[in-house]
Amino acid sequence: MEVEAILKKHNVNCDVGFGLYYSDPKTVPKEDLRWLVGNVVTEAEAKALDGVEGLEAGILQGGTKIGVHMPCRTMLSIIVNIMRVYPKSCDYIVPMEEEMVKEGKDRLCAEGVPEEEYGITEVYEKNSHDFLWFGRILPLE
């Protein structure tokens, strides 16, 4: 909420938020989890915020992504998404990426990026009550 307050102070729309998760909470101790959260802003807004204390801006890399669009109407929606959709999505992504590599195709992440730097991204849109889940997103620049 602190970031949202800073954005509002500078008249920046903060209706779209994101979470970028690098660690698997099933295998990594809580104190070692790596993650980043924030808001999606336009390039012009990011430039206007350059130098504002408490904020950092970055750009998500382009390329092939796997996305799932899910309704998020209640807290139960979030729980169902975490318990059912995430595992099924990973069951799809991991073998697909392994097959892509065997066929000599590009991975879902850029070549040379260590696997521990891969992330999973969630994008939340406040007004639509939906969220998107993307597998295998690169770190921010």
Please state which of the ranges 33-42, 60-69, 72-81 shows the lowest mean pLDDT. 60-69
Question: Which has more confidence, 114 or 91?
Answer: 91
Give the pLDDT band (50/70/90) at residue 31.
very high
Q: 108: pLDDT confidence band, cut at 50, 70 and 90?
A: low
pLDDT of residue 140: 43
- How high is the pLDDT of residue 138? 46
Q: Dihedral of the CA atoms 45, 78, 5, 59 (nearest 10)?
A: -30
Q: Which residue has the higher pLDDT, 82 or 137?
A: 82
Instruction: End-to-end CA distance of the chain: give it in Å, rounded.
Output: 23
pLDDT of residue 47 exceeding 50: yes
Query: By percentage, how much of the chain surpasses pLDDT 70?
Result: 74
Tens digits of residue pLDDT in 119-128: 677 777 777 7
- The Cα–Cα gap between 60 and 122 comes to 12
The overall average pLDDT reported for the chain is 74
pLDDT score of 44: 87
> Exposed (0-12), middle (13-18) or buried (19+): which is 103, by Cβ within 10 Å?
exposed
Domain ranges of the chain: 2-137
pLDDT (0 to 100) of residue 141 = 46
